[in-house]
């Protein structure tokens, strides 16, 4: 045994026997630590994203919101190198899906893409105790589009003036479809109702897709919707368009006048889309997502996709958490008195 000790020490001139023992113990402990599984703190530092991300679209499949959600999801998939799944959770003008997203785990793997309708939920649904500003971390503004007022092809009025005259002659008979209380389609109908001073019979759907089916079949008369899924049908003569809520005419619908051109400037509404995450999502993750969004809004390929449906991307300075929070706050303040004046309350 003595000979073994001397031999080992001799291999390391200048090292004492005690130092050699300490060295061996340290090497053993280090080897054990390497063999242990990663500690919880180490797992928390994993690179984001490392698994699929879900984007909640709070409206039915087939509508403009669904189209934009899928366009955004594909653009994010390319940049984040992870699958992005669009989950349609329709109901209550977007409230059902929005609340579901708000209650999701704040880890960056559940996001919400919603439009102007998110700003009306606090005024419409008093019993929900839901505050979008308190329930979400804002990521940034994505895209914006005007709306077009439409009817089935065999509906009697052919111009906005004729539509107003029809409404006045048939009080409460004119039916106006929307994709739910507080949705962009509903807000457009409310502005029109206020502008002409005639009450409209509102017919609520779970999304613009189902509403358009009933427009075509004659179950309901008029709807405001995005050009995203309707401009082709208008050009083909399957639907008729009365007016655009835009500052200028659209290339895809050159014969459809703007609200200002027909003397109804109060019919001023655009459908703007913002990206959100549940409150409490770590700021580094919000920064990654916002940076990704800013890259997407300057992507020429994405812009060309949206240009075909007359939808414009926001500029990079708007695709930020601060810009979206300011927009959402101002829109909540804008729509609250309009909704209260109309006396609309959703359960």
Q: What is the mean pLDDT of each run of 10 residues along the chain (347 residues)?
A: 42 54 51 44 70 95 87 98 96 89 98 94 84 96 94 95 93 85 83 88 85 93 87 92 90 91 88 96 98 98 87 96 97 88 75
Q: How far apart are CA 281 and CA 276, in angstroms?
A: 10
Q: Spelled out in words, what is the top-level CATH class assigned to the domain 148-244?
A: alpha beta
Residue in 319, 334, 336 with CA at minimum distance from that of residue 126? 336
Instruction: Specify the fold of 53-144+271-342.
Output: D-Maltodextrin-Binding Protein; domain 2 (3.40.190)
Residue in 127, 70, 75 with CA at minimum distance from that of residue 300? 75
Element (H, E) at 324: helix 321-342
Q: Pull the structure tokens for residue 198.
A: 């005639």
Residue in 50, 94, 67 with CA at minimum distance from that of residue 185? 94
Q: Pull the structure tokens for residue 283.
A: 């700021």
Model pLDDT, residue 17: 63
Model pLDDT, residue 20: 55
Q: Is 272 helix (H, G, I), strand (E, B) or coil?
A: strand
Model pLDDT, residue 16: 63
Q: How far apart are CA 41 and CA 341, in angstroms?
A: 53
Per-position b or e across 32-43, b if 16+ CB within 10 A of its CB: eeeeeeeeeeee
pTM: 0.74
Q: How far apart are CA 198 and CA 203, in angstroms?
A: 16
Residue in 325, 311, 271, 316 with CA at minimum distance from that of residue 290? 316
Q: Are 332 and 133 in contact (CB under 8 A)?
A: yes
DSSP secondary structure letter of residue 258? B
Q: How far apart are CA 326 and CA 98, in angstroms?
A: 19
Query: Which residues of the chain form CATH 3.40.190.10?
Result: 148-244
Q: How many Å is the Cα radius of gyration of the chain?
A: 29
Query: Which residues of the chain form CATH 3.40.190.150?
Result: 53-144+271-342
Model pLDDT, residue 194: 85
Q: How far apart are CA 224 and CA 177, in angstroms?
A: 8
């Amino acid at each position: 045994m003595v000979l073994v000790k001397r031999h080992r020490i001799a291999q390391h001139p200048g090292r004492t026997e005690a130092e050699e023992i300490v060295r061996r113990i340290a090497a053993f402990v280090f080897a054990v630590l390497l063999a242990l599984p990663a500690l919880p703190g180490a797992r928390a530092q994993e690179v984001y994203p490392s698994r699929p991300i879900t984007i909640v679209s709070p409206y039915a499949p087939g509508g403009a919101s669904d189209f934009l959600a899928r366009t955004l999801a594909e653009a994010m998939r390319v940049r984040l190198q992870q699958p992005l799944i669009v989950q349609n959770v329709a109901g209550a003008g977007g409230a059902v899906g929005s609340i579901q997203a708000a209650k999701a785990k704040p880890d960056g793997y559940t996001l919400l893409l919603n439009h102007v309708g998110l700003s009306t939920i606090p005024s419409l649904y008093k019993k929900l105790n839901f505050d979008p500003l308190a329930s979400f971390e804002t990521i940034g503004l994505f895209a914006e589009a005007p709306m077009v007022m439409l009817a089935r092809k065999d509906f009697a009025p052919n111009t906005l003036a004729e539509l107003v005259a029809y409404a006045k002659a048939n009080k409460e008979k004119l039916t106006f479809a929307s994709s739910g209380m507080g949705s962009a389609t509903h807000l457009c109908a409310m502005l029109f109702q206020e502008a002409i001073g005639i009450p409209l019979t509102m017919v609520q759907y779970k999304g613009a897709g189902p509403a358009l089916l009933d427009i075509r079949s004659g179950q309901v008369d008029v709807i405001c919707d995005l050009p995203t899924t309707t401009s082709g049908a208008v050009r083909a003569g399957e639907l008729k368009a009365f007016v655009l809520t835009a500052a200028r005419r659209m290339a895809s619908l050159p014969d459809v006048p703007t609200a200002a051109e027909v003397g109804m400037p109060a019919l001023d509404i655009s459908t703007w889309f913002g990206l959100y995450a549940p409150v409490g999502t770590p700021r580094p993750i919000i920064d990654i997502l916002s940076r990704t969004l800013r890259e997407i809004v300057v992507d020429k390929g994405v812009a060309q996709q949206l240009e075909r449906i007359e939808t414009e991307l926001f500029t990079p300075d708007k695709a930020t958490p601060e810009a979206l929070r300011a927009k959402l706050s101002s829109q909540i303040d804008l729509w609250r008195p309009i909704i209260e004046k109309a006396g609309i309350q959703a359960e």
